[in-house]
Amino acid sequence: MAKELNLYPDRNPNPVFTIDGNGDLTYSNAAALNVLELCGSEPEYTVYPQGFIESAIKAIKSKTVQKSTSSVENCHFSFTFCPRKNENLVDVFGKDISEEVKLQTHLSIISDFATALLDAQTEDDVARTIASEAIAKLSLVDCVVYIVNRKNGSLEQRAAHGPKSPKSLRNSVKDPISLNFGEGIVGLAATEKRTVIIDDVSQDSRYVLDDEQRFSEIAVPLIADDEVIGVIDSEHPEKNYFTGDDAKILEAIASIASSRIQHSRTLEESKYTEVKYRSFVENAFGGLYILRDEVFDYANDQFCAMTGYSLEELRSPDFDTQKLIFEADQRALLAMQARTRGDNSPKSYQLEIRTKKGNLSYLAINTCVLKDEKGYFTLGIALDITETIQSRVQLEEVIATLEKKTEELNEFAHLASHNLRAPVTNLIGLLEHFNYTNPNDSTNEIILDKFSKTVIQLNLTLEEMHQVLRVRAKDTVEFKTINLNDIVDGVKHQLSESIREANFKIQTNFELETIHYEKAHIENLFLNLISNALKYRKNEVDPIIDIHASKMNEHVRLIFKDNGLGIDLDKHGKNLFGMYKRFHSNPDGRGVGLYLVKRQLNALGSTISVESEPNLGTCFTIFLAKK
């Protein structure tokens, strides 16, 4: 079994390398050797894809995984460089992404081609666009676009890429020829309405020599409404050149081009046909639908995919079109109301729909009312803007967060400037009065005493600012089970001396002894509210605080009620939780505690409210968010 595992890298169809710190190859499986051969390796030396060794050495030195992509001849590879932890080696795992790159290239060509077709007004414009925007970018050496002459039914050369392309822009094809249905490989594709690939035309008697001898040929018919209206024909000097992938890309181009040609041909026949095909070409990635008497008469594949319903379900007389709508904004409601009043002008609005699977999506809707032989109908074009709406919401949230942070920083900068200016000015003033010539001057002792108190005050201010910044900077929290009795015991121990001197009593009534919350926040909450009750007590009564914990509506409710000085909420209520807001002359009050308490509670979705009157004590009620 171990031996089989060791052989796994060699059996791996993807290339696997091992490179040392000097950039030397120490191991490569069979697939990896093929990549080196593609690069042109010789027995004397090894040729690596561009940037390969640089990425390998970088991964070894940084001990981090590196990634890169490389093109080797007509192949494309992605490489992942995984350094070994305790060795000066890196294992490189490659993957052939040639098909992915090829698919992306083809999708890009089709997208650019569809966009370029928007400017094509005639069938000759379409033919020239096929040659210049599609065939040229596919790197085919030769191609001719035939269009059916509707007068005589022949296939005429209208545009070319390669030797048949004229030097003068006045002509579309150099020395053009015409073919009948059934004549040559082109006529065969037109007659049988299918793509024809000939690997060796020298062995096929149907081959028609045009400008020069070649050996491979592919012919793809342009079909609209089951009618052949042209053929895309390409030849190559190599045998067995064209593949099924070539057929698929040319068939996609032919499908789009056919729709555009048919559209241009029937432009004046019917307004309904005009809008249908214009929407198909110009909104290839959008949803198209037709409503007649509030019933879906038509819906394309994109619209069916957006809603999750099949065309048969949408067209059913029992299908309620209103059940698609989950929510409509004011503009949409006004547009729909205007329609019921007979307003046939074009309308644009947004809807939030519920798909068949129950998912919610946002659609941008454009509608217009047209008329055909059956009467009036509504043509609608829908674009899925769900990702755009979600991105906008996220952006608005980021902007709101940034605005809040900016406001907080401005507030903090203002407070820092204000609160630091006074002690610093005092220090400067004291130093100016210091008697340096006579250090024993009795005035110096007074100055130094004031200097010491000012420095202590300055240190307290800096410590408070540090606490505020620390709370603001903390983004992650950890919820754990907390014993409230332990929290109270911790506060008692921390304030033991002040509690003893003031004969301060802490009474608890915990219906819930344990809660699930961020421990640091709860410790700060209890410490600040208990210490505030201690600081702002009334001297004529024994100070006391009652703390109650209970469960209300699945939330934990905490109540802190004291018999202290109280607060005039009519006067100070708006600033109660502001930073550096003080409402009593007690020198121990700093105006930071309540600010930090409210900020920590709000950060987790919890709330705090207060009831208080002067000389009647204060009651704080907290509801903790459920996590």
CA-CA distances (angstroms) from residue 395 to 364, 387, 398, 501, 602? Answer: 19, 12, 5, 55, 22
Residue among 30, 26, 3, 1 nearest 14 (CA): 30
Characterize the bridge pairing of strands 66-72 and 544-552.
unpaired
Q: What is the pLDDT of residue 190?
A: 92
339 Cβ partners below 8 Å, 6+ apart? Answer: 347, 369, 378
Instruction: Provide the mean pLDDT of the chain.
Output: 80
Residues 388-428 have pLDDT tens digits of: 888 877 877 777 777 777 766 655 655 555 455 556 666 66
CA–CA dist 47, 57 (Å, integer): 16
pLDDT of residue 463 exceeding 70? no
pLDDT greater than 60 at residue 430? yes
Q: What pLDDT score was predicted for residue 268?
A: 44
- pLDDT bracket for residue 81 (50, 70, 90): very high
Determine the pLDDT at residue 33. 78
Gap between the Cα atoms of 157 and 179, Å rounded: 9
pLDDT digits (tens, 9 = 90+) for 539-550: 888 899 999 999
pLDDT digits (tens, 9 = 90+) for 94-105: 888 877 877 777
Structure tokens at 164: 């048949």
Q: pLDDT of 224-250, one tens digit each?
A: 888 999 999 988 988 998 888 888 888
d(CA 465, CA 592): 9
Nearest CA among 325, 299, 321, 326 for reference residue 312: 299
φ/ψ of 129, rounded to 5, equals -65, -35
Count of all residues that appear for the chain in the document? 627
- Please say whether the beta carbons of 127 and 230 come within 8 A: yes
The encoded tokens of residue 594 equal 């309540």
pLDDT tens for each residue of 156-169: 988 888 877 776 54
Backbone angles phi, psi at 449, to 5 degrees: -60, -45
The answer to whether 9 and 16 have CB atoms below 8 angstroms apart is yes
Cα-based angle 34, 36, 40 (whole degrees, multiple of 5): 110
Give dist(CA 193, CA 221) in Å, integer. Answer: 6
Q: Which residue has the higher pLDDT, 92 or 452?
A: 92
Is the pTM of the predicted complex or chain greater than 0.95?
no
Residue 10, pLDDT above cutoff 80: no
